[in-house]
Amino acid sequence: MPEGKLEIRQLGGSYRREARSLLYQAYRHEPTFAYLFEQDRPGYDQRVRASVRELVERHFDEQLPALGLVLDDRLIGIALVSPPTKRFDITESWMWRLRMVLTAGFRCTRRYLDYHQAVLDSLPPGEYSVLPLIGIHPEFQGHGHGLQLLEALHDWCADDEHSKGVVLDTGNARYLEFYQRLGYQEVGQVAIGPVLEHVLYHPNPQRSAVA
């Protein structure tokens, strides 16, 4: 893969479309989404696309932080951040719920709400940032870009005096070793149908040596 200029950017609403496209590509084959949005039933891609769209739109509407990894002006990685000082539970919005039911269907919306609540119930107490969605475009995976994005996120949190750590969850077991090498600790497990969701916490991230 040709080398180019890589940089971390704090993303504004002008990146909505790119963020939706990237996160759809990153999540459409993930085990958790495959169960939540019923991969074996026709219309799966449309349900995932609609769900990602509603999550991204609400995130930017609430002006919550988003960090992007940009290669030659192309967005190749993104982390949506819900910081402790502006924590917003997207599922509390009745408009979001209505739009989800209309686009993803009642059953898939119910599954997503149950999943979301189960993860929230397993979170540790304290002030920390939560990552509702994080991903690297599949075309750029396997080149260390996930590490770059997470290190930038940890640096961002280290500069936030209100954030004492980072929480994320994954139902993809192949990511566990990667997160654990970076200092994430498993604080909970949630059964999402046949998927075991792992809730991971990184306490007190410090600035990386190359920040």
Residue 199 lies in a domain: yes
Residue 208 lies in a domain: no
Asked if residue 207 has pLDDT above 70, the reply is: no
- Alpha-carbon distances of 45 from 34, 113, 126, 137, 145, rounded to whole Å: 10, 19, 36, 16, 25
Residues with Cβ within 8 Å of residue 151, at least 6 apart in sequence: 208, 210, 211
Asked if residue 124 has pLDDT above 90, the reply is: no
Query: What CATH number is attached to the domain comprising 183?
Result: 3.40.630.30
Where in the sequence is the domain holding 36, given as residue range(s)?
6-203
pLDDT at 2: 47
Q: What is the pLDDT of residues 65-82, one digit of tens each?
A: 999 999 998 999 999 998
**DSSP state, 67?**
E
| pLDDT range class, residue 3, cuts 50, 70, 90 | low
Q: Give the range among 27-31, 41-45, 96-100, 111-115 with minimum mean pLDDT.
A: 96-100
Residue 80 near residue 56 (C-beta atoms within 8 A): yes
Residue 1 lies in a domain: no
| pLDDT range class, residue 93, cuts 50, 70, 90 | confident
One-letter amino acid at 207 equals: R
Domain total for the chain? 1
Q: What is the pLDDT of residues 170-202, one digit of tens each?
A: 999 999 999 999 999 999 999 999 999 999 999
CA distance 182 to 180: 5
pTM, 2 dp = 0.90
Residue 211 lies in a domain: no
- Ramachandran angles phi, psi of 146, nearest 5°: -65, -40
